[in-house]
């Protein structure tokens, strides 16, 4: 009797440890996913977050840091041997170089482990020594999440939806011309298949450059080591017969191979193991590109976020088996382009942009928050006189010519509906004027010992994402 009670108790403790992600040595592991569409700021976010965890002088809102409980922070070999390491040193080297530059664009998934020795707080403070918390940060392109939608579609369904979308797009003119004479029921010709796939890939690049986000299959844009392989050598075809050895039959087969050999493994090996997630959004960039870009981004965001509702998809539900992403942060990046007097408006736009998706994620039990941040602050704020009245501007070094400039991007509306409604209604231009963006170079850094790079609200993001586990 006594024995079983004790044994059960031991099991309970073991189960409790398992639930908090701790292993038998008492170490806790948190897997933090960082995603967002291309150029949304993932690499800069991770680099600055890691630098600010190694030196916590600028992290007052990360409670464990401000309470002085982080005894040590260091980089360690990551646990996954087959995933490329996030090249922290090279990215940090670029940001702190002379002159500083932005890190190169990254094309695939990568991972980094930061380990923290954390002293307990509260009642346990005097009784226990420090614990180790491993933060495994995984950088992956948001475009890969868009591929989840492919799993529910047959090749014909996918073709029909892609072809109807690209009918109206100028960026697809070349692909339409290549496609027009093709007979999908005819015999497979590898040269023709390649030509079609290449023209389709070019269209996807052009569409993305034009501000569209619905550019799947994601690996066509970011092929990595799959470039040129059959899983990436297909394109949509109009409906019709698909006899044996026909082009259409082979395209459909490759589409299925893409799903089973590219999409599913990503979700299984990376996505399903994430505990906490930050989704980065270059909302200012989209606003600058106009209403169509905002609406398109909103649609892409809600597609992306569908991946966080495992119930929607049989394959995902099976992968997650009741486990869930516990917290999701939606962050508008590059907020240093705006004077802080406008940050609340940017946050409100971010909240509105992701409202649908956030309501559903909350329903699935995840804790969500929206925030405007700058992972690396490249500007300073000032107030200038303009036409006799004060104007809040930011000042920085322009990327294009290295000159100093004061910049006023336009006033974001108090009510996010003024951005989202014209976008949803297909407006061509903003009614109330233009929103500009400028690209600033990173500012030269002279860091005091103990300080990481300057940022805006990165500490609040960290507190929301994993502060509760430190
Ligand atoms: N001013 C400012 N610009 C930023 C900030 N973060 C990113 N940027 C700009 O956005 C660009 C893209 O940032 P990255 O971190 O490389 O974006 P990414 O999402 O990793 O991009 P890909 O790897 O190409 O998908 C940078 O080159 C900068 O110009 C920031 O905090 N402040
Ligand atoms: Mg990157």
pLDDT tens digits, 248-302:
999 999 999 999 999 999 998 888 899 999 999 999 988 888 888 888 888 888 8
Please state the rounded mean pLDDT for residues 143-168.
90
pLDDT, position 5:
39
Q: Render pLDDT for 312-355 as a digit per residue (tens, 0 to 9).
A: 677 777 777 767 788 999 999 999 999 999 999 999 999 988 88
The finding on whether 100 has its CB within 6 A of some atom of ligand 1 is no
pLDDT, position 361:
62
Please state the rounded mean pLDDT for residues 358-363.
66
pLDDT, position 66:
95
For a mutational test of ligand 1's pocket, the pick from 33, 34, 43, i.e. the residue with the most ligand atoms closer than 8 A to its C-beta, is: 43
Is the per-residue pLDDT at 214 higher than 70? yes
Pick the atom of ligand 1 nearest to 337's CA: 1
Q: Looking at per-residue confidence, does 126 or 137 come out higher?
A: 137
Query: For atom 9 of ligand 1, which residue has the closest CA?
Result: 41
Q: Render pLDDT for 442-457 as a digit per residue (tens, 0 to 9).
A: 999 888 899 999 999 9
The finding on whether 210 has its CB within 6 A of some atom of ligand 1 is no
Please state the rounded mean pLDDT for residues 147-152.
87
Kindly give the distance from the C-alpha atom of residue 190 to the centroid of ligand 2, in angstroms, as a whole number: 34
CA–CA dist 73, 55 (Å, integer): 8
Q: Which ligand is nearest to the CA of 42?
A: 1
Is the per-residue pLDDT at 202 higher than 50? yes
Query: What is the C-alpha R_g of the chain?
Result: 24
Average pLDDT of the chain, as a whole number: 87
Confidence grade of residue 122 (pLDDT, cut at 50, 70, 90): confident
Please state the rounded mean pLDDT for residues 159-174.
91
Is this prediction's pTM over 0.85?
yes
- Tell me phi and psi for residue 136, to 5 degrees: -95, 115
Query: For atom 28 of ligand 1, which residue has the closest CA?
Result: 102
Confidence grade of residue 168 (pLDDT, cut at 50, 70, 90): confident
The finding on whether 292 has its CB within 6 A of some atom of ligand 1 is no
Kindly give the distance from the C-alpha atom of residue 301 to the centroid of ligand 2, in angstroms, as a whole number: 18
The finding on whether 34 has its CB within 6 A of some atom of ligand 1 is no
């Amino acid at each position: 009797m006594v024995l079983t009670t004790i044994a059960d108790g031991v099991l309970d403790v073991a189960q409790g440890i398992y639930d908090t992600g701790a292993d038998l040595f008492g170490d806790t592991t948190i897997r933090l996913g960082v995603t967002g569409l291309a150029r949304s700021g993932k690499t800069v976010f991770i680099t600055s977050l890691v630098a600010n965890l190694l030196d916590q002088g600028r992290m007052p809102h990360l409670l464990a840091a401000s309470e002085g409980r982080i005894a040590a922070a260091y980089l360690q070999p990551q646990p996954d041997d087959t995933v490329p390491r996030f090249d922290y040193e090279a990215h940090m080297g670029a940001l702190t170089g002379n002159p500083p530059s932005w890190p190169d664009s990254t094309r695939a998934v990568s991972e980094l482990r930061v380990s923290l020795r954390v002293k307990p707080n509260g009642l346990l403070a005097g009784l226990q020594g420090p614990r180790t918390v491993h933060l495994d940060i995984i950088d992956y392109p948001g475009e890969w999440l868009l591929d989840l939608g492919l799993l529910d579609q047959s090749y014909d369904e996918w073709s029909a939806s892609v072809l109807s979308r690209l009918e109206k797009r100028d960026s697809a003119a070349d692909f339409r011309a290549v496609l027009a004479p093709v007979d999908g029921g005819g015999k497979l010709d590898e040269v023709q298949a390649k030509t079609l796939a290449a023209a389709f890939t070019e269209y996807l690049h052009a569409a993305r450059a034009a501000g569209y986000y619905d550019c799947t299959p994601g690996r066509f844009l970011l092929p990595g080591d799959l470039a040129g392989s059959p899983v990436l050598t297909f394109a949509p075809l109009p409906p019709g017969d698909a006899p044996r050895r026909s082009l259409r039959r082979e395209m459909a087969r490759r589409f299925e191979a893409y799903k089973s050999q590219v999409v599913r493994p990503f979700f299984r090996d990376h996505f399903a193991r994430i505990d906490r997630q930050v989704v980065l959004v270059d909302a200012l960039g989209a606003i600058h590109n106009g209403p169509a870009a905002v609406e398109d981004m909103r649609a892409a965001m809600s597609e992306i976020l569908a991946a966080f509702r495992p119930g929607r998809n049989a394959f995902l539900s099976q992968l997650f088996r009741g486990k869930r992403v516990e917290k999701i942060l939606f962050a508008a990046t590059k907020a240093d382009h705006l004077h802080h007097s406008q940050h609340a408006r940017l946050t409100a736009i971010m909240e509105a942009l992701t409202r649908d998706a956030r309501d559903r994620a909350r329903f699935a039990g995840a804790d969500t928050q929206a925030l405007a941040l700058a992972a690396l602050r490249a500007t300073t704020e000032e107030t200038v006189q303009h036409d006799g009245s004060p104007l809040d501007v930011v000042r920085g070094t322009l990327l294009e010519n290295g000159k100093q400039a004061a910049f006023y991007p336009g006033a974001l509306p108090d009510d996010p509906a003024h951005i989202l409604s014209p976008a949803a209604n297909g407006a061509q231009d903003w009614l109330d004027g233009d929103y500009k963006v400028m690209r600033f170079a990173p500012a030269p850094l002279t860091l005091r010992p103990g300080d990481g790079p300057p940022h805006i609200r990165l500490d609040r993001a960290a507190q929301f994402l994993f502060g509760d586990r430190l």
